[in-house]
Amino acid sequence: MPELPEVETTRLGITPHLKGRRIGRVVLRQRQLRWPVADEIAALHDAPVGPVGRRAKFLLVDLPGGQMLMHLGMSGSLRVVPEATPPGKHDHVDFVLDSGQMLRFTDPRRFGALLWTATPGRHPMLDHLGPEPLDDAFTGERLFQLSRNRRQAVKTFIMDNRIVVGVGNIYAQESLFMAGIHPSRPAGRISAARYQRLAEAIRVVLARAIAAGGTTLRDFSRADGQPGYFAQELAVYGRSGAPCPQCGAALSLGKHGQRSTVYCRRCQT
């Protein structure tokens, strides 16, 4: 599943192709994604494209009369291709641009979404989200205060979008390893000082992943068709049984919230 760095990489990839352009028309081959494609999106015609932003895993595209929210779901992707490019089986929506290119939405599993709001930045899918992990509002003090009396594992705690957005399975594992915190430790039994280290680790890991172009996953590559390269830097994710890059002990495999977790029994306490 594309995580925050992959979504941000996609935003950075498509923005130069959309900036200053107009959507001439929308070609809709499959309306039923996770939810039906919004009528306002299907009816776009000669619409100037405004800024392209991101909130959590949603891409936000300003358009006349409102804002389009795009979510890649589990297997979705966006590509900029020439207008004459024939569609594939899972190419569900084309946004035909006045440049002679198209922004093509592809989603084999159809868990993605194309939603609409008349009030940019406001939508039920956005209203209860926590701060962005790279913004000043996200701090170790926030994690410490919100974690008090919580028994849940710290890994599932930091993956809760109400606490902080965008810390998915891959980056939760990497951040906890960098901070030296065991993923099963109860969130309410971690000190303020350790949460400061964890918040900084989350920022560092996500910033590195964005700079590297996102992690290469089976269903993801960048908007220009090139894969991300952060997978080459992963310390623990997907490396169960391999030597810990810090102490050399075999990395262990656990499960939190029905998601696999790789960690080091020695380095993470």
Residue 111 belongs to domain spanning: 4-117
The dihedral formed by the CA atoms of 151, 154, 159 and 165, expressed in degrees to the nearest 10 = 100
Residue 147 contacts residue 164 (beta carbons within 8 Å): no
According to DSSP, residue 79 is labeled: E
User: At which of 52, 84, 117 does a domain end?
Assistant: 117
Q: Is 109 annotated as a binding residue?
A: yes
| Domain count along the chain | 2
Q: How many whole angstroms separate alpha carbon 68 and alpha carbon 23?
A: 12
Tell me the catalytic residues: 2-3, 57, 259
Q: For residue 249, what pLDDT band results from cuts at 50, 70 and 90?
A: very high
Q: Could you tell me if residue 61 is inside a domain?
A: yes
Q: How many whole angstroms separate alpha carbon 232 and alpha carbon 182?
A: 23
Residue 3, pLDDT score? 85
Q: Could you tell me if residue 268 is inside a domain?
A: no
Q: Could you tell me if residue 101 is inside a domain?
A: yes
CATH number at residue 153: 1.10.8.50
Q: What token pair was written down for 57?
A: 């895993």
Q: Are 113 and 147 in a shared domain?
A: no
* pTM, full prediction: 0.88
Residue 172 contacts residue 143 (beta carbons within 8 Å): no
Q: How many whole angstroms separate alpha carbon 70 and alpha carbon 59?
A: 5
The answer to whether residue 225 scores a pLDDT higher than 90 is no
